Structure 1
Amino acid sequence: MEALFWCCLVFGALIAIITLIFGDVLGGAADGATGWLPIDVNHLFQPVVLSGAVTVFGGSGLLLDRYSSWPNAGVYAGAVTIAVAIGAGMYFIYVRPMRDSENSTGYSMEDLAGKRAEVLTSIPANGFGEVLVRVGAGNVNHTAASFDREEVPSGTAVVVVEVKEGTLYVSRMD
């Protein structure tokens, strides 16, 4: 029994070190390996959660075996319970908040329809100007034309009505 706990403790510690060095590759492999599941549980099988749980299982099993008077089955059950609790804690305290905080800077031009913008370069009635649109955590500049075919001076708040051929067609905010 003690040999199993020592193996889990050492194996979990080695996996933690390997995860520290190759974490992105292993995280992608975990996503691919669980892609067949009908529910989204990929984040539960992240290497940091698994290696943490295996390490805690080994360590808590050693401590329970040495310092408690429980029978072998009780030691195993206690070690599994502690490992699951710590693994769940790692998921809810570390993995889930980090996953939810990820921001992407990628966007599609079609996503800009309906967005608010500010005119940077005046837009003539039958010509082009420039607008500043807030996308995600940043701002982007785009070529714009007036949707209503009227002049729009710089500094005016507008809304993107339509996106055609890489040009934003905007209308004044009223």
Structure 2
Amino acid sequence: MQTLYLGCLALGVIFAIVSVLVGDLIGSALDGIFDIVSFDFLNPTVLAGAVTVFGGAGILLTRYSTLDDGPIVALSLLTAAFMGVLLFLGFVKPMDKSQTSNGFSMQDLPGMIGEITIPIPAEGYGEIMVKFGAGNSLHTASSFDHRPLLAGTKVVVIDVNDGVALVSEFEERRGVDI
């Protein structure tokens, strides 16, 4: 039994090392192959963690307890299942929900408020920074009104033409009675 426990522990450690070093390459090579049997709790991280815990618990219980092989296997399996559930609920599930995309389309720009980072001449190009989600993106910009705009000026994107944001100075209205 000691050999089984050591093998499980070694397999888990090797899996962890390989995952860190070449996990992205393997993941992209096998992308989508196992989608048919896609259960959230059958995540490779959870399975490898449970196998590693099974091996470690088996080794520790064999060395430091007076239990027979049957109870040691049962306790090792229970410990592995418990730690697998904790790993899934504490790490895998929250990380799955935390994935956000900072992707956007240039067609999303009209109506967005930005700030000029490089001054825009009346007939030329500058640069604006627009906030998308949790990040900022920089875009080549031109004045919609053909007026020069200084760095730090708040602008609104009016349109996008050939990948260039056409902007106008953003004017906030305060106290407007209707």
TM-score range for the pair, normalised by the shorter chain length: 0.5 to 0.7
1:79 pairs with 2:76: yes
Q: Which residue of 2 aligns with 1:62?
A: 59
> Retained in 2: the 8 A contact 1:61–1:75?
yes
Q: CA deviation at 1:65?
A: 4.2
- Secondary structure of the residue aligned to 1:32 is coil
SS in 2 for 1:63: helix
Query: 1:140 corresponds to which letter in structure 2?
Result: L
User: In structure 2, what is the Cα distance between the partners aligned to 1:52 and 1:161?
Assistant: 52
After superposition, residues 88-99 of structure 1 pair within 5 angstroms as 88-91=85-88
Distance 1:27 1:38, change over 3 A: closer
Q: Is 1:51 aligned to 2:48, yes or no?
A: yes
The match for 2:149 among 115, 132, 153 is 153
Kept in 2: contact 1:145–1:170 (CA 8 A): yes
Task: State the shift of 1:57 in Å.
Answer: 0.9
Q: What percent of counterpart residues are identical?
A: 31
Structure 2 stretches lacking a partner, 5+ long:
173-178
Partner of 2:12: 12
Shift of 1:14: 2.4
Kindly report the root-mean-square deviation, in angstroms, between the aligned alpha carbons of the 2 structures. Answer: 3.6
| Contact 1:44 1:91 survives alignment (8 Å) | no
| Aligned partner (choices 109, 115, 119) of residue 121 of structure 1 | 119
The alpha-carbon distance between structure 1 residues 152 and 96, as it changes in their structure 2 partners (threshold 3 A), is: farther
In the TM superposition, residue 33 of structure 1 has moved relative to its aligned partner by 3.3
- Contact 1:123-1:153 within 8 A present in 2 as well: yes
Gaps of 5+ in 1: none
Alignment-derived partner of residue 25 in structure 1 = 25
C-alpha distance 17-101 of structure 1, shift in aligned 2 (>3 A): same
Q: Distance in 2 between matches of 1:69 and 1:163?
A: 73
Distance 1:169 1:151 in 2: 12
Separation in 2, partners of 1:38, 1:61: 29
> Within 2, Cα distance between the matches of 1:114 and 1:44?
44
What is the Cα deviation at residue 50 of structure 1?
3.2
Counterpart secondary structure, 1:142: strand
Partner of residue 129, structure 2: 133
CA 70–158 in structure 1, closer or farther in 2 if over 3 Å, else same: farther
Checking the alignment, whether the CA contact within 8 Å between 1:60 and 1:82 is kept in structure 2 is yes
